[in-house]
Amino acid sequence: MVQRCQWIQDKPDFYVAYHDTVWGKPCYNDRELFQWLTLEVFHSGLSWQLVLSKLDDFQQAFDGLDPEKISQYTACDVERLMNNPKIIRHRRKIEATIQNAQSFLAIKEEWGSFSRYIWHFTQNKPVIRKDGEAMQTRSALSDQVTQDMKQKGFKFIGSTTIHSYLQGIGVINDHDETCLFK
């Protein structure tokens, strides 16, 4: 039997696959970084399992989660998305996604890539939870990143959302010490 993080026990196969192949693994691909940020925005107030189960639907509804395309969305696109029963239909989150795409691209322009920007907070090294430390839902790092991202125009984010994002993209490696995927 494969030893995994305690929290993944009894989860559906797609969630286990996410744990094994994505969560906590350093991600440097800007398109993927935008995808996971967008899903974290929609995760706010909802279960990650629900949001993750709709990944394909989000990709289809939001033009492959391409920040270039999303940054150009209009009120008509917002209405189109609000009428799509396959995604989470929350107007403020949809509007935040458009604003976040614009802010994402501005950072990409300034830093050369969003990856360079997000990883600079840890000097390009993952933060690995030490033995005996409890998993957190926010941290000084997520507070700092959130504050900076808000100053750069990002919407519908907070320290808990950003902490979860940093875990997902591997900036924070929060796998249990006994987990094979640490």
**163 assigned binding-site residue:** no
Residue 75 neighbours by CB distance under 10 Å? 9
Note the pLDDT of residue 134. Answer: 81
pLDDT tens track for 77-102: 999 999 999 999 999 999 999 999 99
pLDDT tens track for 6-17: 999 999 999 999
Instruction: Using pLDDT thresholds of 50, 70 and 90, give the confidence band for residue 112.
Output: very high
CA pair distance 27, 7, nearest whole angstrom: 22
Note the pLDDT of residue 139. Answer: 95
Average pLDDT of the segment spanning 121-136: 88
**5 assigned binding-site residue:** yes
Average pLDDT of the segment spanning 91-120: 98
Residues in CB range of 156: below 8 A, 6 or more apart = 41, 44, 92, 93, 96, 100
pLDDT tens track for 147-174: 999 999 999 999 999 999 999 999 999 9
CA pair distance 142, 75, nearest whole angstrom: 31
Kindly state the tokens that stand for 118: 């997000």
Biggest distance spanned by C-alpha atoms of the chain: 50
**19 assigned binding-site residue:** yes
Note the pLDDT of residue 132. Answer: 72
Query: Residue 182 class from Cβ within 10 Å (0-12 exposed, 13-18 middle, 19+ buried)?
Result: middle
130 pLDDT above the threshold of 90: no
Q: What is the pTM of this model?
A: 0.96
pLDDT tens track for 24-75: 999 999 999 999 999 999 999 999 999 999 999 999 999 999 999 999 999 9
Note the pLDDT of residue 129. Answer: 85
Q: Which domains does the chain have, with CATH numbers?
A: 24-141+150-173 (1.10.340.30)
- The catalytic position among 18, 23, 119, 165 is 18
3-class DSSP state for residue 47? coil
- The catalytic position among 40, 117, 119, 165 is 40
- The catalytic position among 15, 28, 48, 111 is 48
**179 assigned binding-site residue:** yes
Instruction: Using pLDDT thresholds of 50, 70 and 90, give the confidence band for residue 133.
Output: confident
18 is catalytic: yes
Mean pLDDT over each residue of the chain, to the nearest integer: 96
Kindly state the tokens that stand for 137: 């839902």
Beta strands in 8-140 (DSSP E): 127-128
